[in-house]
Amino acid sequence: MRVAYQGEPGAYSEDAVLQVFPDGEPMPCETVRLVFSRVTSGEAAFGVVPLENSQAGSVNQTYDLLLHTSLVSIVGEVVVPVDHALLGLPGARLEDIKRVYSHPQALAQSEEFLASLRVEVVPVHDTAGAARMVAEAGRPEDAAVASVEAGTQRGLSVLAERIQTYPDNFTKFAVIGTEDPGLGQPDKTSLVFAVADRPGSLVGALQAFADRGINLTKLESRPRRGAPFEYVFYVDLETAADRDEVAEALGEVRTHTSMLRVLGSYPAYRPQA
């Protein structure tokens, strides 16, 4: 079973794939958009895409694709601990590094450490890809922010470990697909809506959940593509979509919104003991 992910071998996304599907065949893709395409076309059974980082926040491209790709839904989630290292060529010295390559999220998560080095930061599509670029270029003044494993696979040396600004750094990944992968009983629901253009619409939409005792674990607004200065709201509910109270709440929410989509109902991630 092929499972698409954004990145190259050694990327944190590949680790996420193997946590969810230990016997799956990871299928690297250059972009998150391509992961969605591989799943919708049937080339991959499922995809694993970054959703949110505990330091840098939501991955906006993933949320935009979830909104505009109706053929797939969220069918699971997994959380991966992220430990960044600064990787360079064998023999390179930390004080000689001038440029650092990595995914924009990894650069943001390591901003404090990188600022202390006074280096140029160069965003690229993937952490493991950054390690490959540094290894192939062969310039001792270049370095990459990626996992130690990604550096080991490409023959790089570790110049510094655990360089993220906050030690407890985690990335949440969504499993996307067109069918149930059998990961467990759904107990979480993600949805997106745009409120109607009248006073009290947002309050009314949220009150529908509060009145039925439905807990919200996420509420985030994002610009609505194609509608300048209008917004959509992404919401996570701490319950499954097939419960009667959720159906009742969504029926009421629709009276306060101009658009409402359930992005998926799936088992919430719970770390193994």
Give catalytic residues, as residue numbers.
Answer: 171, 173
Tokens 């490959």, residue? 132
Q: What are phi and psi of 182, to 5 degrees?
A: 75, 40
Select from 172, 168, 166, 163 the least CA-distant residue to 53.
172
Among left, alpha and beta (phi > 0; psi -120 to 50; other), residue 220 is beta
In angstroms, what CA-CA distances link 160 with 11, 152, 167, 218, 228? Answer: 18, 14, 14, 34, 43
Contacts of 63 (CB under 8 A, 6+ apart): 51, 192, 222, 234
